[in-house]
Structure 1
Amino acid sequence: MIVSALAAGICLGAAAPAIARTAAKAPDRFDGTWSVEVITESGSCDRAYRYGVIIQNGQARYAGGGDFTVSGRVQPSGAVRATISRGDAAAQVVGRLGTEGSGNGTWTTSGSTSCKGRWNAERRG
């Protein structure tokens, strides 16, 4: 359950994780609120979650409370790379957001529980 929550909070988060950004400071077209659905395809993590993620200046963070650590970014191209962690559990997230207000990708956990799956995102604001 913790691992699935990590993967979800992340997705962009949460999220979102470590993507290089260009030096030019242009407005980030992916900034805003996103709804992320996380689906487990293998492992003992819960089947599915839906979470809010906020992207600000290309940095993704979980929109809810909790003791998750989210590190990552959305590149100007829309590429997402993130790590969500809690205790010894972590989820690595990769994928892409599109300018049409949606995105998708995959996630994989590490630590005491091994799971993997996919995520889908929709812009909410």
Structure 2
Amino acid sequence: MTDIDEEGAPTLHRLRRELARGTAELAVLSILSSGRRYGYELLKLLQSAGAGVLEIKEGTLYPLLHRLEDAGLIVSSWEVEGGRGRPRKYYSITGDGRVHLALLRAEWSELVEAMRALLDTLDGVHR
């Protein structure tokens, strides 16, 4: 399957993948703002909450978590639940992460509003 349709435009699948990459940081920090999560749990929450639109895969999530940790926006710790079982790496948002999340949310809101205004204007022109 190609990423270009008959008219030469990118397919919806490719556009969704690009949007997911661009919004992954906002999504991860938003989830972690409600409490600590381990990697696989984050992955499942992102996939289920995204309703098939946010196609975030392990190959995207784990490098992102490392970047966020290197930037001081999240911290991680290895823990064993209930004293038994395999250790899991839990991630938590930091104070700096909360500040960064607030900035990302504000930027996202501005972007959505600007796109809504643009599309509404263009809808009026094309009627």
Q: Does the TM-score normalized on the shorter chain lie above 0.5?
A: no
Tell which has more relative contact order, 1 or 2 (C-alpha 8 A, sep 6+). 1
Compute the TM-score of the two structures, normalised by the length of structure 2: 0.27
Structure label with greater radius of gyration:
2
Structure holding more helix per residue: 2
